[in-house]
Every structure is written in structure tokens, then in C-alpha cells.
Structure 1
């Protein structure tokens, strides 16, 4: 499947999110504008047609008369038909006195609403005979023989013309705005698409990469908002590349180191299978046991090295006493030192040396240092483990083994590095494990000549920041 065809399931795209954030406010603004336009258009339409209703009401007022205490209305039927002639709307009227007496018109028209003081004409919407109507109420006095008591003239008109006029005005006002919103939405959509084009190119570039290609992603043409993300991905790939490099190196070194002991085991097995003499078979089995023991130690050290890689370790530091850890580790090596006639000693500090770290890994580091010292110290020699504290906590291992040349002291902690001229068998991993554990604890290792001029001194110094306050 091509990268462009891969769709995120359940995740909203950035384009749709941007479009929603832009178009929803625009749509809300359009709805508000439509509502506002409706009220404006309605006000305009009422203003136009309310004038006609007011004129009809005033014309009716001209035909109201008063004789003594009696009101009259003298509009002829023909004049009435002419006044209310309308091809689209029905017009109704009624004339009442202030006391509610009917003078003329349709008595079924509802009683008009009260006019505010000082207002001569009022307009309102109502329903008559099931149809919406616009009503004008005129309060006035007859022009001929005016009376103190006013009359009320109601003129009601259905809203066919008004509705058509409002729809015409609304279409003229709203359609351009809707069209403008649609054009703006299209332009925004196109603009967002062009703005996201660098992200699509970046997606294509990453998607087409081989799983083995961990080179940095080019940040050219990458938007500034995305550049920190690309930088973080590049940093992650750099770290992944380093870890994979270490793993490849470990696998290659392991394959190389295991090849020789496995071949030796096969040779001894073949020799044992060919022998008929029981004593020779026993001798071959003895060699097999020795080879298997070396292979077991090599595998154990390889696993230890992989386990203590700083990139692979999730540290769980706890307070512990370096004095007690070093003492127990040294005691475990007394039988091995006794077999080689080596004087193994321990000199602890005057008080507990508390560290924050992993006691198990520090024990493993001490074991490798003591093992290395016993292995290379000749019979009758001395190996001493010391614990000191001043500005830092120090683990010191002295031996009487062959002096390590200055030019070799930096390489001695590399994996599988062994000094030439030594006859002791080893994998060259012990000091590499020591270096990894020291690095994990932010400690430093110094290799110097022994103070008595014979052998070597390994000093592991833990910074004071890793030591708790001592009681």
C-alpha cells in the first residue's frame, strides 16, 4: 500500500480541523447576519406598506361626522369599494368610539390594542379569520364638527404583498452573502490544501523510506510549527541508530567470540567419540568441561554486557552501603584467591559509605574487577579492595599483575580488548562491563600503577551527588 493511501482511522485530519475552525464561525456569522437582515427587511417592508394603511385610516376619518352627541359615517359603497380595491390582499376596517360603540366596518375585528399616550397611530401584527394580518389603529376626531371624544379606526390587511416584497429583499441581500461565504470557503479550502502541501511531501518522504534508513529528515520547506517535531524525530532516529549500531556490534562480536569455543567443544566431542580407551575419554571429557565452563562464562559476560548498556537500562536507584557491598563481594572471591595462593584483602572506610544506585550492578562491577585482578596476579601476589570517601566515594582495587602500559590504559575498557603477552584466558569483556556499570552510575574509572610499583590500581569514583548525607 502506498503511503498516500494510508488513512488514520478515528483521527481527525488537520485540514478538516482547520476548515471546521474557520467555517463554523463564518456560518454562525452568516446565520446572525440572515437573522439581522430578516428583521431589517421586515422593518423596511412594514414601513412601506404601513404608510398605505395609515392613508386608508385617515381617509376613513374624513368621513366620520358628528351631529350633536351622535357620530355618523357617510362613505358611499362605491367609494368604499374603490378605497379597498386590492388584487392580492384583503382589507378590513372598523370604526369605534372611545366607549366601544360601532360606527362602521366589520364588527368581528378584534378590539384594538391600547395606544401609548401621545401616539396617534399604532401598528401591530395579528390574526384574523385564520390569516396573518397587519393592523393600523388611528385615534382621531372628526374634522367636521370635531368632538372632544376621539374615535378609533382599525384597518387590517393580509400580508401577501408584504411577504413577497420581504422575500425579494431577502434574496437580494442574503444570496450575495451566501455566495461570498461559499467563495471564501473554497478559497480557504484551497489555501489550507496548499499550506499543508509540505506536510504531505514530508509524509511521502518518510513513508517511502526503507526501514534501515535512519538518516535525518530534511527540514527544507518544512513549516516552522512542524520543524520542532521534525527535529525531535531526527533526534529520536539518531538515538535509535546508535542503539541499533551497538546491537549490531554486539551481535557481530558475540558471533566472533562464540565461534572459537564452540569449535573447541566440537573438536573435543569428536575426539572423545573416536577414543576407545576409557582414560583418554575421561581426559577428553575433562577438556569438554573446561571448554563448557569458559563458554558459560563468556555467555554470562555477554549477557551482562548487554544488560548493562546505558541505552538499555532503566535505572532503579536505591540507597546502599558501599562498604557492605564490597565486603560481601570480596568474601565471595576468597576461595578463588586461595586456590591461586593469592593474598586477598579488604580495607573498608571508618563509617558507612552510602550511595544512591543499584547494589546488584555495583556488586557485579566489583566481581569483575576482583576477578580480573586475581586472574592476572601471579601465585604469591596480593589483591586488595579498598573503600575510601573524601570529596567522592572511591572503590579501589590493587593487584600485583603485569603492569598495563600507559598507551593501553584507555583501550583496556573496550570490548574484547586483551593485552598481548598474557597467558591467561579471558574474553576481554570484564573491564568493559565495569565501564558500562560505572557510566550508568555517573562514576569515573582511573587506571594507575600500584603505589608499591608492582601491578595496577583501578579506582572507581562515584560523584558526591550520588552519595546521601551520612548519619
Structure 2
């Protein structure tokens, strides 16, 4: 069986009205106890007066007391429309003078004072009076023990009437309070209902912020978090859509080229020409593979990928040297003088090792690719004037015009007149990785006026 879902309205009513119900129960118990006490006080006086009236019918026969109460007088004295009355009179030596022989013996207590307590008579609860009284009301006369018992019907009725007079108005007040609280909670939760309708009625493609107008202050943080979540989802969808558009745009041309090369190879009968077509296919496939890697890298390094980064302390000086050494064979193959100028001391930054390697690889690849044979590429690591860690890669390639330097880091932007193959994604990847690390990247002419210098400034890790 499915457990009913918790409802805020139900919980609020339970927390507000539950204590009132408990207080009503406690107040009813206290009111009944007090009402019964007052009822006993009122009827105990009448019970005591009956005892005094019975003592007036005790006479002295010489030195022995004698009860002179006829049956008719006793019936009149003990007449009551609601309760039964019982009595018993005994002398000082315990001899019964008259009354009901089944009267239970008196309980102990101060004999100088009348005692009232609850007892049982013939299986029915009674209120018992036990008192020593002088015969005929004469203080000089001998004392006799008087017991008068009365059932509890009118006492209980009076107590419940008093309780009803106290509790019924309170109960009506609680009923009215329940209606008012129910109405107030329903009105107070109306903004939540409007918020629910606003969310349920919108399209799954609508990620616009929820209107916070007239939203209670207690709910506003939740709405703000939902709006922030929608904003993040919107950015993620934008990244995905942009990636799909970029991939479709960039993959269309190389895939078409591959198909053309395959068709050409299929029509050739000369083995040498088929070999040449296969070589071109290999070059095209290699370009396509590189493009796919760069597209995936671009998607992985979107600004929204910050949560997936694993920043850890890293010596940029040693790490840049390690990555640069991997490019020595490629530089030798292209007749490029690849050099490294490191700092005298370790320069520790917080970085993601894989992403930082990708950044350095793209910068060196860009420098080696666009430098002429016999050129020079230098990787430098040092401390900048602003107490930052500077990674710089200088090349002897064509200088980037000043008006193009702001756009060189955009996706798919390539300088006109370059003969090298490329997708225009390498520097865009570098820029986004730098942003993820809280670094900034600049492009300037090389010191000797030939080529370019790309500098990335990383914040130093606190000691």
C-alpha cells in the first residue's frame, strides 16, 4: 500500500491545532477535578447537616445513649430524589445504636475533626462522612460516632455541568480557530499553488526564470535555486547545441572529402594511383581524427565543466618541461629549434594535469605548425611582475595583426593566407582551459619583432 505523501498544509494544521487539542484534553481533566472538588464541598455541608440532625435524635437513657429515630422520621431525613443515603450511629464503646448494619467501618484519622472520603456501600461508590458528635449538640454530653454515606449521582452531574460550562465554549473557540487557521493556511499557501501551476503549465523547453513576484520570503531561496538550476541547464543546452552545430559544420567538409577520395580510388585500376588515393585517404582521416579530438576537447572544456576538474598543486616549471620534451621529435622533423627556459625555483599552481597538458600541447603545436623550417620556438616559465606564474610560448611564425588578436581565440577563426591545415579550434581550447583555471591569456609580438608570443598568467598557489 502506497504511503500517503506528506502535505505542508496538513503538517501546519497538525502542528497548530494538535497542541490546542492536547491543551483541551488537559484542561478538561483539570476542570473536572476542580468541579468535582467544588461539588464535594457543596454537598459535604449537606451531608454534615444530616449527621447533626441524626445526633439530635440520640437520647441519654441513664448513662447509656439511645437513638430515638422512627422509621418515618428516618425516611424523611434520608429522602433524596437522586441519591441513596445510609447512616449508622455507634457509642464510644463501639456499640451500634442504629442505622445500616452493612456500613463499612470508619477509616483512621483525626477523631476530633469530621472526615470525608470516598468509599463503597453495597457495591456502589459513596461519599462517606465520619464524625464524633456530642449527644443533642451539648458539648458536655458524651460523644457518639456518626457515619453518613451518600451515592455520587448528583455530585457527578454537577461536576459535569460545571465542566461543560467551561469546556464547551473552549471547544467552540477551537472549532472557530480551526476554521480560521484552515482559511489562513490555504490563503498563505496560495503563492505556492500559483508557483506549482506556473511550473507545471510551462513547456519543457522553457527554461526562463520563474517570476518571484509575491513569492513568500521563506520560499524565495528555493525559487532562486530553481532559477539558478534552470540557468545552468540553459547554459548546458546551449553548450550542447553549439557543440552539435560546430561538429556538423566542421565534419561535413572532411567527410565529403573522404567520400570523394574513396570514389576516386574505386574508379582507379592503376595500382600506383590507388596507392596515392589511399595515402590521401590516410591524410584526410588523420585530419578528421584530429578535428574530432579537438571538438571533444572543446566540449570537455566548456565553462560549465568546472565541476569535473580535479585541481591539485602542480609545479608548472617541471610540468611544462616534461610536456615540451614530448614535442622534440616533432620539432626535429620540421627542422624547428625547440627550446625551454625555466625558472630557478619551482612555481606551484593549482591545476588539472590533463587540461594543463592539453593547453601546453595546443600552444606548442600552434607554434611548431606555423613556424617556418629552421625557425625557433621557445617555451618560457617564470614569475610575472604581478606575482603570477607566466607560461609563454614564442614562435617565428607570421605575426598576427593587431586587429586580429582579439578574435584569434574565437572558435573556427583562422588567419587569411595561412597554408597550414587547421580547424581554428586550438587557441579556442587554450582560452577555455585558461578560463577554467582562473588564468588570462595574451598575444604579443615576439621580443625580436618576428613571430608571436602567447602568454598565460596563472595565479600562484598560496603557500
TM-score with structure 1 setting the length: 0.93
Work out whether 1:340 is the aligned partner of 2:329: no
- CA-CA distance at 1:217 after TM superposition: 0.7
For the Cα contact (< 8 Å) 1:67–1:145, is it kept in 2? no
Residue 65 of structure 2 corresponds to residue 71 of structure 1: yes
Match of 1:5 in 2: none
Among 33, 46, 49, the residue aligned to 1:55: 49
Inter-partner Cα distance in structure 2 for 1:220 and 1:145: 89
In 1: Cα distance, 2:143 partner to 2:425 partner: 119
Residue number in structure 2 paired with 1:438 = 434
Corresponding residue for residue 78 of structure 2: 84
User: Which residue, 403, 408, 419 being the options, matches 2:404?
Assistant: 408
1:223 aligned to which of 205, 216, 220:
216
Corresponding residue number in structure 2 for 1:261: 254
- Residues 407-466 of structure 1 show CA distances to partners (whole Å, capped at 9, x for unaligned) of 2212111111111121111011111111121112211111111000000001111112x2
Of residues 450-459 and 416-425 in structure 1, the stretch that sits farther from structure 2 once superposed is 416-425
* Higher deviation after alignment, 281-290 or 336-345: 336-345
| Alignment match of 2:36 (pick from 34, 38, 42) | 42
CA–CA distance in structure 2, aligned partners of residues 205 and 341 of structure 1 = 66
Structure 2: which 5+ runs fail to align? none
The 1:95–1:60 alpha-carbon spacing in structure 2 relative to 1, beyond 3 Å, is same
Do 2:128 and 2:150's aligned partners in 1 also have CA atoms closer than 8 Å?
Answer: yes
How far off is 1:321 after superposition? 2.2
Aligned to 1:4: none
Partner Cα separation in structure 2 for residue 117 and residue 220 of structure 1: 80
1:447 and 1:108 map into 2 onto residues whose CA distance is: 118
Distance in 2, matches of 1:395 and 1:420, equals 27
Shift in alpha-carbon separation, 1:444–1:98, aligned structure 2, 3 A: farther
Q: CA deviation at 1:182?
A: 2.0
2 CA distance for matches of 1:299 and 1:266?
17
8 Å contact from structure 2 (residues 130, 146) kept in 1: yes
Give the superposed CA RMSD.
1.9
- Tell me which of 426, 430, 449 is aligned to 1:453: 449
Is 1:445–1:458's contact at 8 Å kept on the other side of the alignment? yes
Instruction: Tell me how many residue pairs correspond in the alignment.
Output: 459
Displacement after TM superposition at 1:99 (Å): 3.7
User: Structure 1: any 5+ residue segments left out of the alignment?
Assistant: 1-7
Deviates more, 1:349-358 or 1:261-270: 349-358
2: CA distance, partners of 1:167 / 1:190: 33
Contact 2:125 2:152 in 1 (8 A): yes
TM-score (norm 2): 0.94
Separation in 2, partners of 1:9, 1:158: 52
Write out per-residue CA displacement over residues 326-366 of structure 1, whole angstroms, 9 at most, x where no aligned residue: 12221211222222221111112223222222222211111
Change (3 A) 1:346 1:149: same
Q: 1:31 to 1:305 in 2, by over 3 A?
A: same
Residues in 2 aligned to 1:149 and 1:12: alpha-carbon distance in whole angstroms? 77
CA positional deviation for 1:138: 2.9
Instruction: Please point out which of 287, 295, 298 is paired with 1:305.
Output: 298
| 1:245 CA drift (Å) | 1.2
* Counterpart Cα distance in 1 of 2:179 and 2:137: 68
Task: Report the counterpart of residue 314 of structure 2 in structure 1.
Answer: 320
- Local SS of the residue matching 1:132: strand
Q: What SS does the corresponding residue of 2:444 show, helix, strand or coil?
A: strand
Alignment correspondent of 1:371: 365
**Given that residues 343 and 381 in structure 2 are in contact (C-alpha distance below 8 angstroms), is that contact kept between their aligned partners in structure 1?**
yes
Tell whether the 8 Å contact from 1:341 to 1:381 is kept in structure 2 after alignment. yes
Q: Which deviations, in whole Å up to 9, do the C-alpha atoms of 1:349-387 show, x marking residues without a partner? A: 223222222222211111100000011111221111111
Are 2:154 and 1:161 aligned? yes
